[in-house]
Every structure is written in structure tokens, then in C-alpha cells.
Amino acid sequence: MIARKGFYRQAFLIGTALVAALAILPAAAQRAGRAAKRWHAMVLAVHDGDTLSVRETNGVVQRIRVDGIDAPELRQRYGIEARDVLPALVLKRQVEVGVRGRDRYGRILARISIDGLDVSKALVERGLAWHVTVYSDDWT
């Protein structure tokens, strides 16, 4: 009976360690993948102040969460304004997508630039988004 107790305790500890390791791996992989893959795409739609859909050159449509910022939700104060400025910058235009990873909803997390303009910084400078330093510390 004592031997079984030790076995179960050891199995529990190993299982707990595995669960903890699996929980940490996605975040570590995202940080390790910070070296951005870059590609060009056409902006098809703007959903809110920090989310848009693009069509890659191969025709695949992707949903993008703009990295480094958080804009107000549509129902929040200035949410409509943030959503209306983003299309003025990028809608129906060719942009450069710098992939940083994926967010918890499966969207591509990427920096978007157009003609050398960093869209994240442009929205922050206009007061329509906040710089989120928890995930993005590569600009001030």
C-alpha cells in the first residue's frame, strides 16, 4: 500500500509539471518567434480599431490583430472613432504585415505598416489606442 501511495504521488507531480510546461510553451514560442515574418497583403475590411482582414498574395484571407496596441471596443467611448480612422489609413491598400505570433483567439498578431507608417504608432499618436507594453516593448 505504501509503494502505491508513492507511485501516485510521483505520477501526480509529473502530471502537474507537464501541465505547467504545456501552459508556458505557447508564450515562450511566441516570444521566440518575435523575429517577424514579413509579407504584403491587401486590406479587405476593418472590424474595429485594432482588427482587420487582409488578402495575402496567394488569395488566402487572414484576420489580423494589430500588435502593440489596444483600441477601444466599438461600444466603448471613442471605439467608433478608432474604427473609422483605421480604414482611412489602410482600407483597400497594400500593407506590409510583420507577423509576431497569434493571439488567444487565433488571429495573426502583426505590426502593420503602409508606406513606412507604423499603423500602431499612428493610432497611439492620434489618441485612439493605447500602447500595450505587456506584449510589445520594441518602441517608445
The pLDDT tens digits for 63-116 are 999 999 999 998 998 889 989 999 999 999 999 999 999 999 999 999 999 999
Whether residue 123 is found in the same domain as residue 59:
yes
Q: What phi-psi label fits residue 123: left (phi over 0), alpha (psi between -120 and 50 degrees) or beta?
A: alpha
Whether residue 6 is found in the same domain as residue 72:
no
Catalytic residue among 63, 73, 81, 102: 73
- In one letter, which amino acid is 121? K
73 is catalytic: yes
* pLDDT confidence of residue 29: 45
Whether residue 74 is found in the same domain as residue 112:
yes
Whether residue 61 is found in the same domain as residue 114:
yes
For every residue of 49-109, DSSP letters joined together read TTEEEEEETTS-EEEEEETTEEPPPTTSTTHHHHHHHHHHHHTTSEEEEEEEEE-TTSPEE
75 is catalytic: no
C-alpha cell at 2: 505504501
Band the pLDDT of 33: cuts 50, 70, 90. very low
Mean pLDDT over 3-31 rounds to 53
- Give domain status of residue 58, yes or no: yes
Whether residue 87 is found in the same domain as residue 125:
yes
126 is catalytic: no
Q: Bigger pLDDT: 15 or 119?
A: 119
Whole-angstrom distance, CA of residue 51 vs CA of residue 126: 17
Catalytic residue among 65, 83, 100, 111: 65
Least confident of 3-17, 38-52, 77-91: 3-17
Q: Look up the pTM and report it.
A: 0.70
pLDDT at 28 over 80: no
Are the CB atoms for 66 and 114 separated by under 8 Å? Answer: no
Catalytic residue among 55, 63, 102, 107: 107
Q: Domain range for residue 73?
A: 37-131
